[in-house]
Amino acid sequence: MTDERPPSELFQERLKVARDLRKWSQGDLANRAGMPPSSIAHFESGSRKPSFETLRRLANALEVTTDFLLGRVDDPSLAEAGDPLFRDIGKLTGHDRELAKDFLKMLAERTQAKNKEKEG
């Protein structure tokens, strides 16, 4: 079921969701996108709307697609094409691709184990 709200309303929510997924503060995102932290606060509150250039910079910084930020796709995992890591893996073939998958799996498991240590 698609959300029928206008993209401008969805954007403010999606921007915060994408930022939270990265575990970044508004200041972190602002630094990565090359803009003042107050701009991120305005976008998330809905008091300002981004220009096309700003939308592109935010999507690049968050490594998601503009489609996710605008509500055209609902699942951030569907925005994998916007992640440089996924683009680079797509260029690998055969054995190198398997090595990359194994390495990423190992890193993910290591991160998961560290998170469990922190919780317990």
Mean pLDDT of the region 88-94: 71
pLDDT digits (tens, 9 = 90+) for 95-112: 887 888 888 889 989 988
Mean pLDDT of the region 30-44: 96
Same domain for 52 and 20? yes
CA dihedral (55, 60, 62, 66) positive or negative? positive
Number of domains in the chain: 2
Full-model pTM: 0.64
Closest CA to 46 of 100, 5, 106, 94: 5
Same domain for 27 and 66? yes
pLDDT of residue 2: 54
Q: Residue 4, SS3? A: coil
End-to-end CA distance of the chain: 38
pLDDT of residue 1: 46
Q: Give the domain extent around 68.
A: 1-79
Mean per-residue pLDDT over the chain, rounded: 84
Same domain for 88 and 75? no
Residues 95, 86: Cα–Cα separation, whole Å: 17
Give the confidence band of 116 by pLDDT, cuts at 50, 70, 90. Answer: confident
Identify the residue with better confidence: 50 or 114. 50
Residues 36, 50: Cα–Cα separation, whole Å: 13
